[in-house]
Amino acid sequence: MQNKNIERQNMMYLILKEIKLSNNSIYDVCNFTDNLDKANDMLQGYNLINKEDNVVYSIVKYEQPLKLEREVANG
């Protein structure tokens, strides 16, 4: 059970805004949350508001690196 708590603490969902240009794209983190349902709601809101054809919003699941405690690192 403790491993799931650690996993949840290190899990984050990023809402990315991609602006598509002629030869490449620009990315911006618009928002973030640790709740997938909330992230989906945010994404839906951004997509409803968006009126630009060259802008796309998406969700990226981001896991922060684990920090090893001294006991675990030394075995």
C-alpha to C-alpha distances, 48 to 17, 19, 25, nearest whole angstrom: 13, 16, 21
* pLDDT one-digit tens code per residue, 7-65: 456 789 999 999 999 999 999 999 999 999 999 999 999 999 999 999 999 999 999 77
Sign of CA dihedral 8, 10, 31, 52: negative
Give the ranges where 2-66 is alpha helix by DSSP (H).
2-9, 36-49
DSSP three-state, residue 6:
helix
Q: What is the pLDDT of residue 10?
A: 75
C-alpha to C-alpha distances, 18 to 15, 35, 42, 55, 58, nearest whole angstrom: 10, 22, 15, 6, 8
Domain extent listing, the chain: 2-74
pTM for the whole thing? 0.71
